[in-house]
Every structure is written in structure tokens, then in C-alpha cells.
Structure 1
Amino acid sequence: MSEFSLFFFGSQLLVAIAFGSGIFAFWQQQRSAMLKFWFISAVLNASHFGLLGQYEAALFVSLTAIRFLVAALYPRQCWMLLFMAGATLILLTTYSSPLNLLPYAAAMLGTFGSFLTRVGRVRLCMALGASIWILHNILVGSPVAVLMEIAFLLSNLMGFLRARRLATKMVAPGYSD
């Protein structure tokens, strides 16, 4: 088996595990747990891009991974501004076409959402970010990435609806367990 095939196989294995961790994150009801699973997903996804030789994407997703972990442990606005500045720096140093604005916009939404305290608002920002990634991945012709982001979007929606249903049951008059 050639070196390229091993790197490709390894990258696909990493992104499959990242995909699973990302889906699992959407089913978490606690903000911190959700962000920690997204951290794992982003680390694996960045590693996947590195194995494929997509170093700009690996750099951007690595920043996202660090952001998820910091937001889970220290949800302070000063960190949010630092990560937004980092994303802007990445855009300014790697910009090559208007297409680069889509991942930047998704990263900015994700950064904003990661530092919100209400899970519903975190989910909303992540859903909007996933929608932007879907558009980006369609434009660059990456069908597997499109499917992954669609799955993240749908899983996020199902987690949101499940949380609302649980909240409604808990506050409904006459509710008994």
C-alpha cells in the first residue's frame, strides 16, 4: 500500500470518528459537554485535513478546536474576542478568493455561539454556521463534507426539538412522572 493510500485511509478514519463525535455533541443537553465533544471532533477533523495536505483548513479547524475547549472551560467574552481576532488573522494571511469568506463567516458565528450561555442560542449559531459550511462545500464540490454538515444540521435540529419537548413536559400543568 502506498504512503498516499495510508494517509488517505487514516484521514478518512479520523474524519469518521470526528463525524461521530460531532453528532454525539448535538445530543448533549449541557453546554460544556456539547463543546467538549465538538473539541474532540474538531481535533480529529483538523488532523484529517493535515493528513490530506490541506494545511490552511487544518489551521482553521485547529483554532476552532481550541476555541471549543476554552469556551467549555472559560466562557468569557474576552476569549471570544481573541478567537474572532485569530479567525480574522487567518483570513487575512490565507485569503485567496471570495470563497474564503464563507468559512470565515461560519467561524465567526461558531465563535460567537461558543461563548453564549444558553444552549438554544449555541445551537442556533451552530446551525447557521453549518448552513454556511454546506454552501461552501457545495461550491468547492465536496459531497461528503456536504452530507456531514447536513447531518450535523439535522442532528442539531433534533437535539433542539428534544430539549424543547423535555422543557415543555417539565413546565406543563399537571405534569407527573
Structure 2
Amino acid sequence: MLIAQILGLLSFALGIACFYQQQDLRLKQLMVLLNINNAIHFFLLGGITACLSSLISALRNALAIKFHSAWLAALFIAITLALGVPLITHPADWLPLVGGCIGSYAVFCCTGIKLRVVFLLGALCWLLNNIWLGSIGGSLLEAMLLITNMRTIYLLRNQAALVNT
């Protein structure tokens, strides 16, 4: 359990680094590392749907670095549900699956401020999942991601306003 919580705290640090990024490319690159770390963390906590969703998200985010496609978003949503739904043993198991589906839409169909707003919705699902699993670092991560992401949205809006004046 201690190793799982240490990995959760590492996820916390990686997540903060992710959402301070104002460049979409760097954000997605760091998210791949975060997803892999999260997969191991959730596996150790016994969160099988969260582990699966994190692994799928790592592959998805790696592809999203090069591709921007609604078809890929739909494919990853279908994969997440097809592989994840049979593993559901408790209603809370839906949270990482829904969060993963929201993330798929975000990385393949959104950019800039919209990307970060959609990520806020996914972060809410993951926050509830992490609280349910007892993930200290994961819960801190998602709470801070909500705050950090809102800050980045604010900065991006201000930059856009300056450009438009």
C-alpha cells in the first residue's frame, strides 16, 4: 500500500506539471507519463477499471500527439467501454471509464481553452474515483488539477484578449 501511495504522490507532481503547460503538445507528452504511472498506482490499489482506463489513456495520448480526429476519439471511447464495462463490479467503477471517455474526446477533438474545459469534466470523474479508491496522491492530484487547469484557462483567455485588442 505504501508503494501505491508513493506512486500516487508522483502522479500528483506529474499532473501539476501537465496542466501548467500552455502548449498542447507538451501537455499531451507529460500526460502519457502520468497515465503510465497512474496505471501502476491504480493496479496496486486494486482499481482494475482505473488501471485499464489509464493504460488506454496512455496509448490514446501518445497517438493524440500526432493525430487530431473525431474517429480516433470514437474508437478510443468504444475500446474503453468494450474492455472496461465487463470489469465493473461496483457503480464507482464507472467513474474512470467515463473520465477516460471524456479524455478521449478532449485530446482528439479539442484544443486550447476548450481542451482544458473538457479536461475539467474528466477530472471530476477521476477525483471521485480516487477518493473512492483511497488514493491520497490521486485525490490531491485531481483537486489540484482542477485549480491549476482553471488558472491556465484564465491565462489563455487573458492572452487571447490581449491579442484581440
Q: TM-score, normalised on structure 2?
A: 0.86
User: Which of 1 and 2 has higher RCO (CA within 8 Å, sep 6+)?
Assistant: 2
Which residue of the other structure, out of 91, 94, 97, is the alignment partner of 1:101? 94
Deviation at 1:163, TM superposition (A): 1.3
User: Quick check: 1:39 aligned with 2:32?
Assistant: yes
Aligned pairs for 1:41-56 within 5 A? 41-56=34-49
1:91-130 paired onto structure 2 within 5 Å: 91-130=84-123
- Residue aligning to 2:163: 170
The TM-score normalised by the length of structure 1 is 0.81
The Cα offsets for residues 90-110 of structure 1, whole Å up to 9 and x where unpaired, read as 232202132222222211111
Distance 1:30 1:152 in 2: 16
Amino acid at match of 1:14: L
- Taking the aligned partners of 1:17 and 1:143, their CA distance within structure 2 comes to 12
8 Å Cα contact 2:7/2:41 also seen in 1: yes
Alpha-carbon shift at residue 49 of structure 1 (Å): 2.4
Residue type of the partner of 2:134?
Answer: S
Separation of aligned partners in 1, 2:42 and 2:128: 19
Per the TM alignment, residue 129 of structure 1 is displaced from its structure 2 partner at its CA by 0.9
Give the total of aligned pairs.
164
Gaps of 5+ in 2: none
| Percent of paired sites with the same residue | 26
CA distance in 1: counterparts of 2:103 and 2:96, whole angstroms:
10
Where do 4+ consecutive residues of structure 1 move more than 6 Å?
none
Q: Deviations over 1:4-59 (max 9, x none)?
A: xxxx4443333323222211111212212111111111111112223445444322
Q: Can you give the 5+ residue segments of structure 1 that lack an aligned partner in the other structure?
A: 1-7, 173-177
Partner of 1:23: 16
Question: How far apart, CA to CA, are the structure 1 residues paired with 2:47 and 2:92?
Answer: 16
Q: Indicate conservation of the 8 Å contact 1:31/1:117, yes or no.
A: no
Output the CA distance in 2 between the equivalents of 1:163 and 1:121: 11
SS in 2 for 1:73: coil
The match for 2:140 among 138, 147, 163 is 147
Q: Is the 8 A contact 1:11 1:52 kept in 2?
A: yes
- Name the larger-Rg structure: 1
CA RMSD after TM alignment: 2.1
The 2-side partners of 1:21 and 1:137 are apart by 16
